[in-house]
Structure 1
Amino acid sequence: MTTRRGLLAATALSSLLPRQGRAQGQAQGQAQNAAPTPAAPAPELLVEKKVFEFANYRTRGGANLAAGRIGYQTAGTLNAAGDNAVLIEHFFTGNSHAFGRYAAGEAPGYWDAIIGPGKPIDTNRFFVVAADCLANLNVRDARTITTGPASVNPATGRPYGMDFPVVSIRDFVEVQKLLLESLGVKKLALVAGGSMGSLQVVEWAAAYPEWVERAMPAIGTGEIDAWMLGWLDIWEAPIRMDPNWRNGEYYAQGRQPPLQGLTEALRIVTLHSRDRAWAREFGRRPVEGQDPARRIGDRFAVEQWLEDAAAARARVSDANSFLYLTRANQLFLNEYDSTEAALSRSRARWLLLPSVHDRVFPVEYGRELAETLRRLNRPVEVVELKGPLGHLEGVVGIAQAADAIRALLAH
């Protein structure tokens, strides 16, 4: 694996900030009967972070959220029929910055390789929307806008903490639908997303089959089974064990947040989202100047890298929000008896993008979802992503599927 690819992996999905992506391609041209001339770089797609506010939302669990807001960004133009919209769903540690740049020279969004003018999801043709979810993890990132446990409860004037209502993947969908309706969207030409985003894709197709023309879940699953329920519990366990967590009551002045527990939780997620091949660049070498064979406190390089990456992520994250997101994932499709029952009314054409070496949602999850869709006589194509990054291939390796995405949207 190249050093550049390793650095890209370090900044995606589960370790550092959610504003990373791959370099944009270049337009190519050649004058007739002349020598080739250098290609001009494609113009940067600049996007703006916007705010959607809503009131008196009733969660799927029956609680009332008096006021809420989420951030979003758009590119392209909605047509008169309101049916050329594309919705992009983000992963567990992500936000709405899926494409474009907030300013010239800044880092592009995580799926910028496939979204923009002339790209597989062509913003010259489609009106593309990406939104932050409720209880977004990145509450200390100024470019994430969300309502969650760290938000002020208008009834008390203090942060909600664990009094924030439980929210599910379906709740994320319902709030997104309110946003889309406010923008004039009547139908979605495509719903696409990776990891937790793929769960939202499936929920959309189940809840609103008349809205969803095409569905593209990447590095995902059609169910959160008992094995995955257990993994999500392991992800969050260090937070609950940190004495600074205080059952979620750590927002008061003078109290320290459970940064150690959150860092450990993110360290688990960071390693879980990668495959063995990713770690080969570290080998068994120790941290420079240390000797694990002589001192129990000395460390191997991979251990130190994981801790540093997780600690950097923890500084822009919120521990309670982490717990709310794991619960939302655990509640995926919880209103249906089975995946087959959930998708029995789906009208979408499907493109599934599992990763062969995924350790979070192993490739059989994607294959099982494909078989379920085939039993329901839904058109489905599967493109298996390959590479050393495991789960992260669905983020930094998404360009592997560029041709399949173009074909999906061609008709």
Structure 2
Amino acid sequence: MTTRRSLLVAAWAAPLAAAAPGLLPGTLARPALARPALAQPALAQPAPAPLVERREFSFQGYTTRGGAAIPAIRTGYQTLGTLNAAGDNAVLVTHFFSGNGHAFGRLQPDGPAGWWDAIIGPGRPIDTDRYFVIASDTMVNLNAPDRHTITTGPASVNPSTGRPWGMSFPVVSIRDFVEVQKRLLDHLKVRKLALVAGPSMGSLQAIEWAVAYPEMVERVMPVIGTGEMDAWMLGWLDLWASPIRTDLAWRNGDYYGQGREAPLRGLAEALKLVTLHSRDRGWARQFGRRPAEGQDPARRMQDRFAIEAALDAAAMARARLSDANSFLYLVRANQLFLGEHEGLDAALAKAGGRWLVLPSRGDRVFPAEYSDELVAALRRAGRPVAQAVLEGPQGHLEGVVAIAQAGEAIRDFLAR
């Protein structure tokens, strides 16, 4: 049961955000001669996660960056802390590929804490006694079937037809996510962001924010991310999406009708790819080479190894909570990261803010070299930047499930 639960966490935190999805001590402007790993935090009993309320923001009429019209947009969000009179103590937290805006707090007293709860809350590194913290669901959210997620995407009803959009929903990009968030922040009367931060796909949103609205962003913290969606990553994203497109039940995205079967098998295989890719070898050692219980792969081709059976079970459980078309739309949004600019240098020439970049040493999705390249590009652009390396056996997911190790670095960053 413990193994299965840990795998479900992996699937929930799967990055696909990549689309893209350690810190240096001293002044942020100081060049880095080395990349020390972050010290693991001392174990301490954190205060209980505060209760938060999920709310809905909606507006009429949105034109995508590609020029398509969407009649109405709905998005879920939550906040913690108080916005000051100047509207400049806000922090925007952006989520990873398979996540939603439940980044902190609990929705019920006995419910799970948000995925970055370890660093967000009263007295925590992102201190809600000081900052007004906002986290929202993206468009085309993978968790569309979940009642706690509010999103507009292919599973939403097209008001002109009365049926789900399916693959007729317009293509959207990471920049479109940012534009919807900007509408939300305007509604909340936020004038300036003291910080925009997120892991994996969240890091892509944070970077797009700094490029699109440099005058509004004071600090940027991309975690387990990249500054460029290169051809290698485009290819990986296509591989993640392929099992859905080859599932006969997908029907070119037209599977929402009564009596039709959702492409759960293809979606589960896609989530399996993402789950394993987002982990590192250290995590997989718990399974060893042992067979699944009661099976013998050396004698029967149908039998499975323990890691195969565990990945199958976790991925199918996750698929039942997700929407296959939304997965495909998220892939495309990630592929379009910074696509409105001629290249990373051209994009960062427009960016503002001070930067803290947090790669994971064992990341297989966005290897640490992606963060090295981002840091180098930021220095070429004259932006003050610091970097530190997350350590541990979780691979890409160190930036989600083990972000507490960066707590002191984050405090220091926000103090400057």
TM-score (norm: length of structure 2): 0.91
> Structure 1's 392 and 5: CA in aligned 2 closer, same or farther, altered over 3 A?
farther
Match of residue 294 from structure 2: 289
Distance 1:253 1:273 in 2: 35
Distance 2:384 2:402 in 1: 24
The question of 1:79 aligning with 2:61 is answered no
Letter in structure 2 aligned against 1:393: E
Unaligned runs of 5+ in 1: 16-23, 28-40
Q: Are the equivalent residues in 2 in contact too, given 1:12–1:396 (CA < 8 A)?
A: no
The question of 1:257 aligning with 2:299 is answered no
Match of residue 400 from structure 1: 405
The question of 1:167 aligning with 2:172 is answered yes
Dislocated runs of 4+, deviation >4 Å: 2-9, 24-27
Aligned-residue Cα RMSD (Å) equals 1.8
Q: Deviations over 1:273-319 (max 9, x none)?
A: 00111100000000111100010000000001111111111001000
Distance 1:266 1:224 in 2: 20
- Aligned residues, how many? 389
Deviation at 1:106, TM superposition (A): 1.2
Q: Are the equivalent residues in 2 in contact too, given 1:78–1:127 (CA < 8 A)?
A: yes
Deviation at 1:140, TM superposition (A): 1.2
> Structure 1's 4 and 244: CA in aligned 2 closer, same or farther, altered over 3 A?
closer
The question of 1:309 aligning with 2:277 is answered no
Q: Are the equivalent residues in 1 in contact too, given 2:198–2:223 (CA < 8 A)?
A: yes
Q: Deviations over 1:145-168 (max 9, x none)?
A: 100000000000000000100000
Match of residue 187 from structure 2: 182
Match of residue 14 from structure 1: 14
The question of 1:110 aligning with 2:133 is answered no
Q: Are the equivalent residues in 2 in contact too, given 1:6–1:278 (CA < 8 A)?
A: no
Q: Deviations over 1:217-275 (max 9, x none)?
A: 00000000000000000000000000010100011111111011000000000101001
Report sequence identity in percent: 67
The question of 1:44 aligning with 2:53 is answered no
> Structure 1's 357 and 44: CA in aligned 2 closer, same or farther, altered over 3 A?
closer
Q: Secondary structure of 1:233's partner?
A: helix
Q: Are the equivalent residues in 2 in contact too, given 1:110–1:396 (CA < 8 A)?
A: yes
Distance 2:70 2:43 in 1: 43
Q: Deviations over 1:310-347 (max 9, x none)?
A: 11110010000000000000000000001111111222
The residue correspondences of 1:237-256 to structure 2 (distance < 5 A) are 237-256=242-261
Q: Are the equivalent residues in 1 in contact too, given 2:83–2:131 (CA < 8 A)?
A: yes
Match of residue 100 from structure 2: 95
Unaligned runs of 5+ in 2: 16-41
Match of residue 158 from structure 2: 153
Q: Are the equivalent residues in 1 in contact too, given 2:66–2:172 (CA < 8 A)?
A: yes
Q: Are the equivalent residues in 1 in contact too, given 2:7–2:310 (CA < 8 A)?
A: no
Deviation at 1:131, TM superposition (A): 0.3
Letter in structure 2 aligned against 1:245: W
> Structure 1's 386 and 353: CA in aligned 2 closer, same or farther, altered over 3 A?
same
Deviation at 1:69, TM superposition (A): 0.3
